[in-house]
Structure 1
């Protein structure tokens, strides 16, 4: 099962490990949404269709944990901050609705591990997901290049028309990290 999980250390200053799980055919979306909205579950749930590579989520998570550490978050929780950082808009509601849990049944679950207590909470949450866990390396099978290009505004210029999927990641991450400096 470990091969099905994406795990990476974020900025050393944060002392945080990011874990990403991919679930498909999720049946209990309303239950999951309720637990997220009420703050019962400490994780981010992201539409897999808008993610081209786990690095995209890792960049957003890294920005989120550093913003939390420096008391400069835009949103109320570090998990909402991840969704906000994935988006190009500075509108929090639009960011959360665009990238957060909706009707999609292919979802990424992102956990931030800072101590062993987080691991047991993570395992408890995972056990409550009614869906099929897949290797995170399968994300490209659930990505919608059309939707990704639309969300990241990669449809407007000729240079983006024939972008290969692997080149999308570079463009997306560049736009994410410059969001605060540029208006797209």
Structure 2
């Protein structure tokens, strides 16, 4: 299993770890646990993630905002969903990128201090009934057309930029758009 952990901006002292699950059979239970604060993680529709970098950029923005007490949603995990989205409406961002009962493939995003990862991981892994697959396979579960629609990316833009770069640019610039 490729464990995908990245150190976020050094100023934050935080790390981001990603885990990809497929064929998940208990989505509604996972969603209830996340909403109830029992699971300290962000759970994203895998279909809306084209590359791990997309999730890392959003997590890094969230970590920096948390350090500066500037969270819009007041929770780092909902904040990741908010930053992945292009909308200014929190509820729409959570609906768009958060999981629903039809989802089977999910990306788990952990934001943690060094040494905190294992306890968070045990908490999360024990709650997910599905197959854990390498993050390097994320594009197998990506819905390219849906991503282009959500991020409003057309073919003209893709002639001069990759899809990942177009998405990351939008995530990076979200603060300026708000």
Deviates more, 1:108-117 or 1:142-151: 108-117
Superposition deviation, residue 118 in structure 1? 4.3
- 1:131-162 Cα distance to aligned partner (Å, 9 max, x none): 0000000001000100000010013xx504x6
**Distance in 2 of aligned mates of 1:51 and 1:13:** 26
Find out whether 1:131 has 2:136 as its counterpart. Answer: no
CA RMSD of aligned residues (A): 1.7
Match of 1:159 in 2: 156
Where does the alignment leave 5 or more consecutive residues of structure 1 unmatched?
A: none
Q: Any residues of structure 2 matched to 1:27-176 within 5 Å, and which? A: 27-102=25-100, 103-155=102-154, 158-160=155-157, 167-176=162-171
Q: What's the secondary structure of 1:180's corresponding residue?
A: helix
Aligned partner of 1:26 among 24, 37, 50: 24
**Distance in 2 of aligned mates of 1:42 and 1:173:** 24
Q: Aligned pairs, how many? A: 177
Where does the alignment leave 5 or more consecutive residues of structure 2 unmatched?
A: none
Give the structure-2-normalised TM-score. 0.93
